[in-house]
Amino acid sequence: MSNAAPSVTDYRLAPPVMARFVGAYLVVFAVVVLVFTVAAAGLGIDPNAIVVLLLLGLVGLGILGWWLRSRLAVVRLTATGYRVRLVRGVGVREARWSEVEDAVAAAPRDIECVVLRLKQGGTTTIPVQLLAADKDDFARDVRAHLIAAGR
């Protein structure tokens, strides 16, 4: 990796985290199918409606998988700042590099994180295990963006 930070770097979800989202979808979908099947049997709805529901659910699963793998950026680093999405307890979700005092490694509750400490007192805590990236590469990229922004 070069010393110059790229203008935009996106970090996506790690595969185990994506699997949790897909698993949750499948559980909810199974409950919906069960409820619909019982309702269809009780109300005399055409059984082909269940097949349509199953097909729609499979299409939804495909779209969810594509979105999680290809479109969703959990952390976006740009030349001007950063943005964090879908992380509970992150703190400040978005800030400009000029607002960042420093970046440090931390392990609250034994979870390895990169913590961006802001000049105004807030912090952004990014658990690196959520990212589909090597933790050291991510930390170097954050540092490169800070340096490129004059921090």
pLDDT score, position 6 = 59
Please report which residue ranges of 72-148 form alpha helices under DSSP H: 135-148
Q: How confident is the model at residue 7 (pLDDT cuts 50, 70, 90)?
A: confident
Tokens standing for residue 23: 């698993």
Residue ranges of E strands in 26-134: 75-78, 81-84, 94-96, 100-106, 113-118, 123-127
Place of tokens 């805590």: 125
Tokens standing for residue 108: 């609250």
pLDDT tens-digit series, residues 52-93: 999 999 999 999 999 999 999 999 999 999 999 989 889 999
- pTM (2 decimals)? 0.79
pLDDT tens-digit series, residues 18-54: 999 999 999 999 999 999 999 999 998 998 999 999 9
Nearest 10 degrees: Cα torsion 69, 70, 72, 75: 90
